[in-house]
Amino acid sequence: MDTWVYKLDGVNYINLTNKCTCACTFCLRDHMDGVGGYGLWLEKEPTAEQVITILAGDQTDIVFCGYGEPTEKLEELLLIARFVKGYGGRVRLDTNGHGSAINGRDIVPALAPLTDEISISLNAPTAARYAELTRCRFPNGFSHMLDFAKKCVQCGIGTTLSVVDVLSDEEIEACRAIAEGLGARLRVRHCV
């Protein structure tokens, strides 16, 4: 059975899709079938209603984070987030920052009232290094991601940019400067 909702540290994580605009060289998907004992490869993507039915019996905070880019399923994401905000839950989105490019429009205004926190994968300090590490399908993936991050900060969403510790110390510090320049925090994630 597909894992659409999985619980880690008392929070429900929502796994909407396996589609992603990147094929990162360090991605967990290439090394593991899931996390926390949950298999995250989907045979069938859930509808918003299916996820909401699961959440109705376990009203906790949520994180949109699975084995794909959640904004690939934007309409479902927004419906689920609206439901969670309705019962007073907090919503975090873990994203590669390509949601506006994926959907062909600026999605930050739609996310802002429904998203308490957003974690955006910065991944690298330069466009060239970003392309090398993420193998993004968008030629301007780095600038799409930075523009998205800037708009999230401007809309008041608590914004964190993240990198994986496959980078050198100098690259991590350059990423810290980018994050701080945007008004965001930087989080360094450990590569599995």
CB atoms within 10 A of CB 107: 19
Domains of the chain: 5-189 (3.20.20.70)
Per-chain mean pLDDT for the chain = 93
Over 80: is that where the pLDDT of 192 sits? no
Of 49, 67, 47, nearest to 6 by C-alpha is 67
CB atoms within 10 A of CB 162: 18
Over 80: is that where the pLDDT of 33 sits? no
Instruction: Please state whether 141 falls in left (phi above 0), alpha (psi between -120 and 50) or beta.
Output: alpha
Please tell me whether residue 35 adopts helix, strand or coil conformation.
strand
Q: Per the structure block, which two tokens stand in for 66?
A: 């699975």
Each residue of 86-136: pLDDT tens digit?
Answer: 999 999 999 999 999 999 999 999 999 999 999 999 999 999 999 999 999
**pLDDT band at residue 190 under the 50/70/90 scheme:** confident
